[in-house]
Chains A and B, each alone.
Chain A
Amino acid sequence: DTAVSQTPKYLVTQMGNDKSIKCEQNLGHDTMYWYKQDSKKFLKIMFSYNNKELIINETVPNRFSPKSPDKAHLNLHINSLELGDSAVYFCASSQDLGQGNSEQFFGPGTRLTVL
């Protein structure tokens, strides 16, 4: 069984388009995250949600909008895609928030290429 799944795995699109990436976790975790990994493999958090509530909102362009319909899902919608948005986007989940001692479980990633 896949613990954290993302769709699609690959996404190739033109500049200016709007696209969404979906994430689901079946671990019963309360907290979910979106990370961006650039071409140099540098990994940075974008957002986190705890039980559908936005907790962390890093300084990302407001073209990026996360949505959590329930605590098992966290989707990422990107408007007006730009070349610099090309990266691998990872979803993750963890059991708690605030205690800081739980490991995160990562999805397989979505490779976004903007042409």
Chain B
Amino acid sequence: AQSVAQPEDQVNVAEGNPLTVKCTYSVSGNPYLFWYVQYPNRGLQFLLKYITGDNLVKGSYGFEAEFNKSQTSFHLKKPSALVSDSALYFCAVRDSATDKLIFGTGTRLQVFP
């Protein structure tokens, strides 16, 4: 079965520092990978996706993610964190057999001023 794992419940980073939110996946076939962000009391917002092509994917709000096939990872990154980036981040993979979007357990990012 397809799955994603987000090994960190919470990531803390100082404003201005680079941030990384980790995600690893397990799929059969080619993975379709997504990152979403959820601000408090809001719905999920799409950040970026990897379908095919360049391993470095750029998305909204200055975020990017690197697809690494050998490590089966799709970590979310940003060169310089903002306090306003504080939110809950979800990695997701499309299950090709069922067409369902399988979400990770989420990582809470806290950016301190």
In the complex, whether A43 has a CB less than 8 A from a CB of chain B is yes
Chain A interface size band reads: 20 to 34
In the complex, whether A66 has a CB less than 8 A from a CB of chain B is no
- Interface size of B in residues (CB-CB distance below 8 Å): 23
Cβ–Cβ < 8 Å partners of A97 in chain B: 99
CA A103 to CA B59, docked complex, whole Å: 12
Cβ–Cβ < 8 Å partners of A67 in chain B: none
In the complex, whether A12 has a CB less than 8 A from a CB of chain B is no
In the complex, whether A98 has a CB less than 8 A from a CB of chain B is yes
Segment from A13-21, A79-87, A106-114 that makes contact with B:
A106-114
Which residues of B approach A to under 8 Å, CB–CB?
32, 34, 36, 38, 41-46, 49, 51, 88, 90, 94, 96, 98-101, 103, 105-106
Which residues of A approach B to under 8 Å, CB–CB?
4, 40-45, 48, 55-56, 58, 90, 92, 97-98, 100-101, 103-109
